[in-house]
Amino acid sequence: MIFELPNLPYASDALEPMISKKTLEFHHDKHHAAYVTNLNNLVKGSKFEEADLETIIKYADGGIFNNGAQVWNHTFYFEQFGKDKIHMLKNGAFSDAVYRDFGSLDIFKDKFSNASKTLFGSGWTWLVKKPDGTLDIVQTSNAANPMRDGLKPILTCDVWEHAYYIDYQNKRADYIENFWKIIDWAVIAKRY
């Protein structure tokens, strides 16, 4: 199948000042776009030519896996933000699970932030739902995606330097602190 770059679900300046227009233009229009282009070139003539992204993430290796997972990861990351129409965490099944498995939303955020700060090198931090329904935080390196291990992604933070370097330089912790201010919790709760 031919993969396409999804449009951002908001204007490129909608997340300022937490994530600048310039960062989003590079991150979406250049990086995300390049993963789509690379993936389309790589699957041509391969056994994954007709595969969807989830199949690629579960079964592919090498460049097809790396680019396919990065296409999926970035779409998932960009979809969870919304500055103007942001929704707070409401009572419900997801909120219950956060309190049950972490104690409170603040404790969860601290643990997730810490996992994001301490991830060595390029990668992603994930809130995942395990097959038994409980929540957990996992770190993955480079393009890796928890679906490969049978986990359902709920929330993610991109800690590749390209996600924050223009705005925050080496201050990854500041990027993560501001990351929480643009999370749309209605999107996250729906994923759960």
Given the rule CB under 5 A, which residues bind Mn ion?
158, 160, 163
Shortest approach of Mn ion to residue 31 CB, angstroms? Answer: 5
Beta bridge partners of 152: 129
Of 119 and 163, nearer to Mn ion (C-beta) is: 163
Shortest approach of Mn ion to residue 175 CB, angstroms? Answer: 12
Shortest approach of Mn ion to residue 61 CB, angstroms? Answer: 21
Of 158 and 184, nearer to Mn ion (C-beta) is: 158
- What lies within 8 Å, CB to CB, of 104 at 6+ separation is 98
Alpha-carbon distance of 32 to 85, in angstroms, equals 24
Specify the DSSP class assigned to residue 184. Answer: -
Of 68 and 97, nearer to Mn ion (C-beta) is: 68
Of 55 and 142, nearer to Mn ion (C-beta) is: 142
Strand-strand pairing, 152-158 and 135-141 = unpaired
Shortest approach of Mn ion to residue 91 CB, angstroms? Answer: 32
Residue nearest to Mn ion (CB): 158
- What lies within 8 Å, CB to CB, of 98 at 6+ separation is 89, 104, 105, 108, 135
